[in-house]
Amino acid sequence: MTERYDHPWLLRGDHPVPGPAVPPGVEYHRAYAGESRRIPRGVLAIVLLVAGFVGFAVLFQHLSEVVDAALFGRSGPSTPLRQAAGALALAALIPYCMLLQRVLYGVPAGSLHSVAGRFRFGVLGRALVVFGPLVLVVMAIGASGGVESAPWTTADLVWFFVIGMLLTPLAAAGEEYGFRGLMFRVLGGWTRGARSGAVLGIVVTTVLFSLVHGTLDPFLFTSYLVLFSSMAIVTWRTGGLEVAVVLHGVYNVSALVLATTLHVDVGAELANRSAAVGSWANLIPSAMLVLITTTVWWTTRRQGPARTPEHGRSTAGEAGRRAGARALQRVAGDANPGG
CA 255, 257, 295, 231: dihedral to nearest 10 degrees? -60
Evaluate if residue 261 carries a pLDDT over 60. Answer: yes
Beta bridge partners of 297: none
Domain that holds residue 130: 25-310
Question: Is position 13 within any domain?
Answer: no
235 located within any domain: yes
Average pLDDT (225-231) is 96
Q: Tell me the average pLDDT across 3-21.
A: 58
Average pLDDT of the residues of the chain = 84
Cα 108–chain centre separation: 18
| The total number of structural domains that make up the chain | 1
| Positive/negative CA dihedral, 58, 60, 64, 66 | positive
Is 324 domain-assigned? Answer: no
Question: Is residue 105 assigned to a domain?
Answer: yes
SS3 content of the chain, % helix, strand, coil (to 5): 70, 0, 30
C-alpha 101/C-alpha 194 separation (Å) is: 19
> Would 35 be classed as within a structural domain?
yes
Q: What is the largest CA-CA distance in the chain?
A: 87
Tell whether 325 is covered by a domain: no
Q: DSSP letter at 68?
A: I
294 three-class SS: helix
| 333 occurs within a structural domain | no
Instruction: Indicate whether 5 belongs to any domain.
Output: no
pLDDT band at 104 (very low <50, low <70, confident <90, very high): very high
